[in-house]
Amino acid sequence: MAEDSASQDGGAWGGVTIAHNVDSPDAVDAVLEEARLAGATIARAGAPTFWGGYSGVFVDPEGHPWEIAHNPGWRLAADGSIHLH
């Protein structure tokens, strides 16, 4: 998990990565850029995944990794809920 989230446990990580799902690969890149502009470090740029999706990781200023992901097998509703195909 640490390798996938591009994290080293310096005391802040704790073995958990928060994931935020979005509706497209372009949205992944947009969220990563927004996080970078807000002071986050991009630990893993957006890229295709082994499972057929697209994701990237940023680390917030407190050291917590966030995975931003698009899964083409999931449909996101307007309220953010996930519907599996």
The chain-wide mean pLDDT, for the chain, equals: 86
Is residue 69 one of the residues assigned to a domain? yes
The pTM of the full predicted model, rounded to 2 decimals, is 0.80
What CATH number should be reported for the domain holding residue 44? Answer: 3.10.180.10
Each residue's pLDDT tens digit, 17-37: 788 999 999 999 999 999 999
pLDDT for res 23: 92
Distance separating alpha carbons of residues 22 and 69, to the nearest angstrom: 6
* Overall domain count for the chain: 1
> Domain residues for 53?
21-77
**Residue 58 pLDDT > 90, yes or no?**
yes
CB 74 within 8 A of CB 21: yes
pLDDT for res 40: 96
Question: Average pLDDT in the 52-63 region?
Answer: 93
